[in-house]
Amino acid sequence: MINSISPLDADNSGILVFKDLHKRFGDIAVLKGVSGKLVPGQISAFVGPNGAGKTTLFQLLTGELKPDRGSATLNGQNILGSSPYRLAGRGIGKLFQDVRAFPNLSILDNVIVAIVARQSYRDKPFDFGLVRNGRSQVLAKKAREYLSRVGFDANEEALAKNLSWGNQKLLALARLLAGEFRCVFLDEPIAGISTLMANRMVPLIRELAEAGVAVALIEHEITFVESLANDVIVMNEGVVIDSGSASEVLSHAETREICLGL
């Protein structure tokens, strides 16, 4: 099951490789040796029942948690143990399972934050760049572009907390786009939103991959997995029980059972 890593992977192609990741919370081993890789331009779907450890895996790879054991590299360079903001600076972005839009900021400011953070995390850590009138028109214009890319047509001055759940997810996606990441982790981007919203979300995720981003996706709904994913990694109780190309994995009866038997 463990993907072997060839020396070829250690190049500058933007591949994220993780190997043998272990994590336990107290007495509970949540991840027991998980390996895999994310390839630019490809959507890898992580499926498996609740509690399988998918979110925990994403937290390890985005710097929110430290693993007990294992390795993970981006372009051959270690990413474990770095804080989330450093990893964001190196091109790793994330959509949280619980969304986490900035509730008391306006829709526009939510996106501007991401643009500003991206512009400054490398060379200008202490940036007092004036945001005239609360924000510069240049920034606002850029932010509007991202908002229109996700098809957001709500009042841009509305506070994020007043948005519906689906709209908050869409906003979080716009914020993620504004980060211009090379590798993104989407933790259940489609769950819990209306079909209308889901139908908007799916092509956006596909576009992201087409633009050359490595996309990791957690999704329970098998139809979305079928329509989106290039690769599927099936997890259960902290281990990868099956992985490979989407058509192959999804044809396995056992996998279908685990995914559908939620």
Which of 177, 221, 231 lies closest to 199 in space, CA to CA?
A: 221
Residue with smaller CB distance to another protein, 19 or 94: 94
Report if residue 167 touches another protein, rule: CB under 8 A. yes
Contact partner, 56, from ligand ADP, Mg ion, another protein, none, Cβ < 5-8 Å per class: ligand ADP
Compute the distance between CA of residue 24 and CA of residue 67 in angstroms, rounded to an integer: 8
What are 243's two structure tokens? 């992985």
Are 241 and 54 in contact by the 8 Å Cβ rule? The answer is no
Report if residue 127 touches another protein, rule: CB under 8 A. yes
Report if residue 55 touches Mg ion, rule: CB under 5 A. yes
Question: Which DSSP state fits 106?
Answer: B
Contact partner, 30, from another protein, ligand ADP, Mg ion, none, Cβ < 5-8 Å per class: ligand ADP
Residue with smaller CB distance to another protein, 46 or 152: 152
What are 130's two structure tokens? 């004036």
Question: Which DSSP state fits 11?
Answer: S
CA 126 remoteness from chain centre: 27
Report if residue 135 touches another protein, rule: CB under 8 A. yes
Q: How many residues bind ligand ADP (CB under 6 A)?
A: 10
Residue with smaller CB distance to Mg ion, 55 or 255: 55
Residue with smaller CB distance to another protein, 25 or 247: 25
Contact partner, 76, from ligand ADP, another protein, Mg ion, none, Cβ < 5-8 Å per class: none
Compute the distance between CA of residue 204 and CA of residue 70 in angstroms, rounded to an integer: 32
What are 249's two structure tokens? 């994995």
Which part of the chain contacts Mg ion (CB under 5 A), choosing from 2-10, 49-57, 88-96, 203-211? 49-57
Identity of residue 55: T
Report if residue 215 touches another protein, rule: CB under 8 A. no
Q: How many C-beta atoms lie closer than 10 Å to residue 212's C-beta?
A: 11
Compute the distance between CA of residue 38 and CA of residue 72 in angstroms, rounded to an integer: 11
Among 2, 13, 25, 127, binds ligand ADP (CB under 6 A): 25
Question: From residue 51 to residue 90, what is the string marking binding to ligand ADP with x (rule CB under 6 A)?
Answer: xxxxxx----------------------------------
Report if residue 59 touches Mg ion, rule: CB under 5 A. no
Q: By CB neighbour count within 10 A (0-12 exposed, 13-18 middle, 19+ buried), where does 60 fall?
A: buried
Q: Which residues in this chain contact ligand ADP in the complex, by CB under 6 A?
A: 25, 30, 48, 50-56
Q: Which residues in this chain contact Mg ion in the complex, by CB under 5 A?
A: 55
